[in-house]
A and B are shown apart, each in its own frame.
Chain A
């Protein structure tokens, strides 16, 4: 390889990455500085949490969740990890190994829950039992367990690794359907309310190319392979569309999402209030719910009564779509 001609915008040393949205190139040191500053700006601008708050980071073994955990700990925050074993075949086995190694190597506290061991089901079985797409059962299970772990553990906030690409793709999906209720809730921080813990997304100002570069430069081993069940889903398609636009018009993606938060979200604030009316408590687990029994407990009932479904059967079903 011949050294690149491009220089770091900050120090003029050889660059390791080009970021068209910033119209700039960065060396390893100054890319990390950019990531730190963007995360801290998100935390402060959106009043996500303070230096004394106890943080529970939802980790999956992928780049974003390990990056945000690493960045928070490096910045001096008290942050523990929480991992849910989803039972998605080899993918989940690999995820567990990456998360466990990350925590052990850094001496960090990792809480874990395994769906099959503790609730008697896994995601492929839940998908088959409920006749819904696997990502639906997966997202609902994780959200319930993140909330429960945060409340039970006395944490002030649940942090997830959602990045700018994730949020822009979800926003595109919500706009395409003009789903006002979802649009109103698509905020970088949601306050604690009705028994739910506060939730924050400190990486919303960073693209996933930047979080992946952070991991690479910091020596973080993460699971690069995509969830086999998620492959081909609508969310990934929306990301591809946005990146095609970004290629022709750099910084469009960040303008799309960040201007929505600044200009549009305030106009939808009353919709958020209307959607978060009083909730009752699940008679089974005590979680907030609109009915007598929460959606998670109903899922557990159906999925745990079903014969285990190997992940290959769910993959086959998606592949025929």
Chain B
């Protein structure tokens, strides 16, 4: 699957057939700091992803002072 990430913007290919939580763990990302969007739809941690999915991992942390 194609995984789109931010800060900095980049795209990586990863093997599918894993849950959202497993994907975040594999990328060493904290769930509380991210939303995961699969093929344009927001998905929870136990959603199972497939090889042909396009995933956006969107950070939600902002530095407002």
Taking beta carbons and an 8 Å cutoff, which residues of A are in contact with B?
Answer: 1-6, 15-18, 20, 25, 28, 60, 62-64, 135-136, 138-139, 161-162, 165-166, 207-209, 211-213, 216-217, 224-227, 230-231, 233, 235-236, 239-240, 243-244, 246-247
Contacts and interface: CB of A to CB of B under 8 A. Distances in A.
A243 B31 CA distance: 9
B65 interface: yes
Nearest to B62: A62
A226 B7 contact: yes
Identify the interface centre among B33, B44, B50: most chain A CB within 10 Å of its CB.
Answer: B44
Interface in B44-65: 44-50, 53, 58-65
Nearest to B49: A1
A25 B44 CA distance: 8
Given A209-B35, A244-B30, A16 B44 contact: yes
- Which bracket fits the contact residues of B? 20 to 34
B6 A3 contact: no
B38 to A, nearest CB: 5
27 contacts: A1-B50, A1-B53, A4-B43, A4-B46, A4-B48, A6-B44, A6-B46, A17-B42, A18-B31, A18-B45, A20-B31, A20-B32, A25-B44, A135-B65, A162-B64, A166-B64, A207-B32, A208-B60, A216-B42, A224-B58, A224-B59, A226-B7, A226-B61, A230-B63, A236-B63, A240-B30, A246-B32
B47 A209 contact: no
A25 B45 CA distance: 10
B22 to A, nearest CB: 13
Interface centre among B53, B61, B62 (most CB of A within 10 A): B62
Contacts of B33: 209, 239-240, 243
SS class, residues of chain B in contact with chain A: loop
Contacts of A236: 61, 63
Contacts of A16: 41-44
Given A4-B47, A209-B33, A225 B7 contact: yes
B48 A2 contact: yes
Given A1-B39, A62-B62, A230-B63, 6 more contacts: A6-B46, A18-B31, A226-B7, A236-B63, A243-B30, A247-B31
B3 interface: no
A18 B44 contact: yes
A2 B50 contact: yes
B2 interface: no
A17 B33 CA distance: 13
A18 B46 contact: yes
Interface string B8-47: 0000000000000000000000111111011101111111
A63 B32 CA distance: 16
